[in-house]
Chain A
Amino acid sequence: MTIWRIICLAGALAPLCGCHSVSELRQPANVPVFVDSYDSPVLVKKTGNVPCILNLINCAEKATLVVNKLSGSTEPGPAFPVEAVVREECAILINSNFRQVNAAEHAKIELKVESRKVILSRDGDDLSFSLSLAIMLLNPHHQDKPYFNNVYEVKTIGTMMDENTVPNCVYEAVQRVLANFINEISANEYLVARLSELAP
């Protein structure tokens, strides 16, 4: 009887056992590019020497993929990095139109990016990403009166290829928001003149 008891116990324990592997999210080898460039000839000429610092304290770190089921219910899935993508793209934007702050100087402009909406949903194989970012240009020492402040919202669609890779629609949304921001401030002559005065 003892052998049967052991078999029954093992049989009862077997369904409770499990192996959980933590998969690491990876970014694509080549970051996809959906906009021409962040380079603005007007800004490069007039603000290219203004030291700028990036502030992402209020940017959501990740976007959780929510799967819409046929029953109408939703099920959360893996989370993909958003803040890291925004940081990388903003670094390119600053290098293109302003200048990164040196260790020996104070920043004259603060580029502050706050997230308002990061909704990533999946319906079958189709992905949809709604991104809303508030972008501000501030004086780092007097943040109550920003030089510029606007909220941008875009919605991109993509296809689910690999659950461990950041979807292209995340890159596309971030790049389109930043391109809209650059286009808007480039067209604002008063703002460009004000920012150009900050160059050392």
Chain B
Amino acid sequence: MNKLTRTSVLLTTLLFAAGCLSSASSFVSSSSPISQGRYTELAAEVSGTCTQVQWLFFTFGAAGSPQRHALSDAIGRISGADALTAMAVDVEQFTFLSTTLLPFPILPVFTRTRVTGTPVKLNAQ
């Protein structure tokens, strides 16, 4: 088998093994403690994302919790927003070769965390 054929077979195998997975991570009433009637809704919906790449033992992208980064991104998009209500967290993952045999990905895995919710401004007491 020549080199070109081997490469083609490998690429085809990777292509069939590649896939995108989207899963709902969590849903909470609000990202901060708020009481009824003590906030202002600033928009119907806003989203924020955080993308990380895992490869072997390394994680590339924003350090720390991707949910917190995505939340900060969402809140920062609306002027004056302090928190999100009806907040949903979804995780989208694109992987070339998924296996549970190894504790680390042998090919890069792209993970995007998306936080969606209603941006609110908290009122002073």
**Using a CB–CB distance below 8 Å, which chain A residues touch chain B?**
57-64, 66, 73-74, 76, 79, 114-121, 132, 134
Contact = CB atoms under 8 A, between A and B. Distances in A.
Contact of A76 (B40, B41, B43, B124): B43
A74 B121 contact: no
A62 B80 contact: yes
Interface stretch (B4-12, B44-52, B99-107): B44-52
Q: Which 10 A-B pairs have the closest CB atoms?
A: A79-B79, A58-B123, A115-B40, A117-B41, A76-B77, A60-B40, A66-B43, A62-B79, A64-B78, A64-B79
Interface residues of B, number: 17
Contacts, number: 59
Contacts of B41: 116-119, 132
Contact of B47 (A73, A79, A115, A121): A73
A118 B123 contact: no
The interface residues of chain B, by DSSP majority, are classed as loop
Interface in B8-56: 37, 39-47
26 contacts: A59-B40, A60-B40, A60-B42, A60-B80, A60-B121, A61-B80, A63-B42, A64-B78, A66-B44, A66-B45, A73-B47, A76-B43, A76-B78, A79-B79, A79-B80, A115-B40, A115-B121, A116-B39, A116-B41, A118-B40, A118-B41, A119-B41, A119-B42, A119-B44, A121-B43, A121-B44
A68 B97 CA distance: 36
A117 B40 contact: yes
A117 B42 CA distance: 6
Given A62-B79, A79-B79, A119 B124 contact: no
Contacts of B80: 60-62, 64, 79
B34 to A, nearest CB: 13
Contacts of B46: 66, 74, 76
A120 B121 CA distance: 15
Nearest to A80: B79
Contacts of A62: 79-80
Given A63-B42, A118-B42, 14 more contacts: A58-B124, A60-B40, A60-B80, A60-B121, A66-B43, A66-B46, A74-B44, A74-B47, A76-B78, A115-B121, A117-B40, A118-B40, A119-B44, A132-B41
